[in-house]
Amino acid sequence: MMREIPTIKPSNTHRNAVRRLIHRARVATLATRMVEGGDPYASLVTVAADHDASPILLLSGLADHTRNLNADARVSLLIDEARALPNPQTGPRVSLLGRAEKVVDPQARDRIAARFLARHPGAALYAGFGDFAFWRMVPERAHLVGGFARAVWIPDGVLRDPATAAAFAEAEPSAVAHMNDDHADAVAALGLAHVGPGGAWRMTALDAAGILMRNGDDEMVFQIPFEPPLTAPGEVRARLVEMTRKARHAQ
């Protein structure tokens, strides 16, 4: 007799875990439906996170998945931190189900582009090409697997509150510039403590989930999380001061 798997009631802890996975992700598996025949089609994509935790994609109009999206906006996106583990079944992952929408408003596109390029600076080489466009996925539900036999369906509430997201989006540019221009020593201490030695650590982005750091012209960008996530931009300064104090103490 097969043992029945107990149903887990989703909580804010689960929703925060989903957002954490989205904000940390650099790559994901995108599932669309083929225009011809409707067969499922999975492809590798690079991903960044908007302030509300909605995934951002930069897609070529020549790619099969883009042709599929133009015909059917329904998608699934798999984000995982399992593949590098000795037993991948023990690693966390989330399958997001929802719709993808092309970002067409110029002001929104500029902001989305800045978020994406902060995560993937190498994409600046082709982000402006006419056949590339930014897409935003709007998750409608999520299936979070925290490890072996630890799964929960989250029917709603995956994205961060719109007002909170908007507040962080407004505060981000000045906060990042202030840290890089006036507190380069603190940025260097954070990079050294959380990532490793580097000659020119700079902050590239900031949101409720954490900060992104880049070492010089290196294309690899690292996320340093806020644990727990912030709830308002007014908390940024105190959290960075505390993180910097701990980083310097650890050196």
Give the DSSP letter of residue 223: E
Per residue in 177-207, pLDDT (tens digit) is: 999 999 999 999 999 999 998 779 999 999 9
Alpha helices, DSSP H, located in the chain: 12-24, 64-71, 106-119, 162-182, 184-194, 236-250
Phi, psi of 52 (to 5 degrees): -90, 5
**Whole-model pTM?**
0.94
Give the DSSP letter of residue 90: G
Tell me the CATH number for domain 12-159. 2.30.110.10
Pick the CATH number of 164-250 from 3.20.180.10, 3.40.50.1010, 3.30.1330.10, 3.30.420.40: 3.20.180.10
Are 82 and 91 in contact, with CB atoms under 8 Å apart?
yes
Which bin fits 239, alpha (ψ -120 to 50), beta or left (φ > 0)?
Answer: alpha
d(C-alpha 164, C-alpha 72), whole Å = 30
Q: How far is CA 111 from the centre of its chain?
A: 15
pLDDT along the chain (251 residues), means of 10: 66 94 98 97 98 98 98 98 89 97 97 98 96 97 86 94 97 98 97 90 97 95 96 98 94 74
Distances in Å between the alpha carbon of 108 and those of 88, 131, 134, 136?
37, 18, 10, 11
Kindly list the domain boundaries of the chain, sorted by start residue.
12-159, 164-250
